[in-house]
């Protein structure tokens, strides 16, 4: 089956075998506080770092979806407001989700036939949100432009939704502070897992805000991932499948 739908994509052909392996190796009932899980988590994070070229000082987290990442950015990394540069359905939706958590989120639509022009964002905002690959219309923002936004806004965090491109194209992670993608698009895996990547500057903001009102507050997640764990029971099978595909693909 070939599909041009934005996602989920067709999973890799090896997935059924990996699921069987997961069952045989006890992954499906693995305790997420055990050393086996800790080893799996560490291995997967290290593979992600080397395969995707994530800088050594960036932190990699596991969440359950890109939508969850939108909320984590609004609740745990935004003190004042976020400003959203968007030209399609996913970027617009991100603005709506952020606005519900931090009312007053700014919306800056741009024409999908024009390149996004890097601007200095107004200082009532502190997070700049850009959809790198707008899945609904196939337009991309280059990492050079994202990088210009970062240079022009040294007090802001730059957050990038790369849901339908991460795993498929080379991304210059240094050009932004927060990156995320769920795995059912370009990673070719079943839905229910997402990867969230944070720069040292994003982690500094997380620690300074110390927001702890949610099960997925980034402050909790940051403490747990230092021990290769998550505050909640993660999608262990998803992490295992990601590890297996990273080992052979790309």
| Three-class secondary structure of residue 164 per DSSP | coil
Cα distance between residue 190 and residue 200, in whole Å: 30
Write phi, then psi, for 208 (nearest 5 degrees): -65, -45
Residue 7 in contact with ligand PLP, rule: CB under 6 A: yes
Beta strands in the chain (DSSP E): 59-63, 82-86, 106-109, 127-131, 133-134, 139-140, 157-161, 178-182, 194-198
Site string for ligand PLP, 75-94 (x = CB under 6 A): ---------------x----
Which region, judged by CB under 6 A, interacts with ligand PLP, from 65-73, 119-127, 148-156, 200-208? 65-73
Q: Would you say 194 or 202 has its CB closer to ligand PLP?
A: 194
Report the residue from 63, 125, 135, 143 that binds ligand PLP according to the rule CB under 6 A: 135
8-47: which residues touch ligand PLP (CB under 6 A)?
Answer: none
Residue 145 sits in the site that holds ligand PLP (CB under 6 A): no
Contact pick of 15, 67, 211, 214 for ligand PLP (by CB under 6 A): 67
In angstroms, the CA 159 to CA 174 distance is 12
Q: For tokens 């190796």, what's the residue?
A: 25
Judged by the rule CB under 6 A, the positions of this chain that interact with ligand PLP are 6-7, 65-67, 90, 131, 135, 161, 163-164, 182, 185, 194
């Amino acid at each position: 089956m070939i599909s041009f739908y934005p996602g989920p994509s067709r999973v890799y052909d090896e997935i059924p075998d990996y699921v069987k392996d997961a069952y045989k190796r006890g992954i499906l009932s693995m305790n997420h506080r055990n050393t086996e899980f800790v080893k799996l988590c560490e291995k997967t994070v290290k593979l992600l770092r080397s395969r995707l070229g994530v800088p050594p000082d960036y932190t990699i987290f596991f969440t359950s979806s890109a939508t969850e990442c939108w909320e984590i950015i609004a609740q745990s990394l935004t003190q004042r407001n976020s400003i959203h540069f968007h030209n399609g359905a996913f970027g617009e939706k991100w603005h709506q989700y952020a606005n519900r958590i931090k009312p007053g989120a700014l919306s800056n639509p741009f024409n999908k036939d024009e390149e996004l022009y890097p601007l200095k964002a107004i200082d009532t905002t502190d997070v700049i949100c850009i959809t790198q690959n707008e899945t609904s219309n196939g337009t991309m923002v280059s990492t050079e432009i994202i990088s210009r936004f970062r240079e022009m806004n040294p007090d802001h965090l730059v957050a990038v939704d790369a849901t339908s491109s991460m795993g498929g194209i080379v991304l210059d992670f240094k050009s932004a502070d927060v990156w995320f993608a769920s795995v059912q698009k370009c990673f070719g895996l079943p839905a229910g897992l997402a990867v969230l990547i944070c720069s040292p500057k994003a982690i500094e903001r997380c620690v300074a805000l110390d927001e702890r009102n949610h099960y997925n507050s980034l402050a909790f997640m940051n403490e747990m991932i230092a021990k290769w764990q998550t505050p909640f029971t993660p999608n262990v099978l998803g992490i295992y499948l990601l590890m297996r595909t990273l080992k052979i693909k790309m």
